[in-house]
Structure 1
Amino acid sequence: MSDLFLKASRMKLRFDTSKGPLSAEDLWDLPISSDRKLNLADIALEVKGRLDKVSGLSFVKQPTKEIDQTDQLRFDILRFVIETKQDENAAAVAARDNATKKQRLLQLIAEKEDDSLKGKSVEELRALAESL
């Protein structure tokens, strides 16, 4: 991973987009996908298309042209950024789900404690209140 970004920074690698050239660190600011905005998935598809065209992808013949190493580096960086952002999104969803479940459990605990207190006599409740 660090090798990818080391190479990219040393090469001053840029990603050509409809909004102009972007550096590798600019990719982190883009959404993974979007119908209207510049996004990682569209950039990756364009780079992958160039790679496939250069490699002469064929199931019958051996490729005759060498893969452009710069585009391969671009694609590897894009894939890394996309996978990392997907992992972060999944972790955020899981954390949000866990927080919701925890809140619900705390609510149920409070209801049970209230039910327990309701079953006590007035004298027991006064004793508890005085002990606080």
Structure 2
Amino acid sequence: MELKSLTNLKMLDLSYTYDLRKIPSHLISSFSKLQIFRTWCTTSGDNPKEDNVLNGDNENLIEELKSLRHLNILTIPPIKSLFALERFVSFHLFQCCTQALHLRHLRESNVFNVLCLENMERLETLYFEGCG
């Protein structure tokens, strides 16, 4: 059975899949009724390059998540650039449903402006790793 056939899926929790290296493109967006999506995988440079939304700075994953109109709770892998963070927090759906945010190796600035997160309505946990 293909995961894409789970069209009524409302919750996908990948929080404890620490060795997760690949999520195929268009898989997450195929769960149009998804309300809860959690993943905390720590992606590394040896992830499969093709057909994988975990590559880069989660840009592909973020694009897929934008199509999920019923999303209420969201936790995503670490964001690794201020540009990606700005794009993420500018999308209204993510402002309303993000519970935890992990920022890793943000080296573009020595100062982090926490005000960029002021519209994150459900943010409960903020992790900084190797920043500054």
Which structure shows the bigger proportion of residues in strand conformation? 2
TM-score normalised to structure 1 length: 0.27
Which structure shows the bigger proportion of residues in helix conformation? 1
- The structure number with the bigger radius of gyration is 1
TM-score normalised to structure 2 length: 0.27
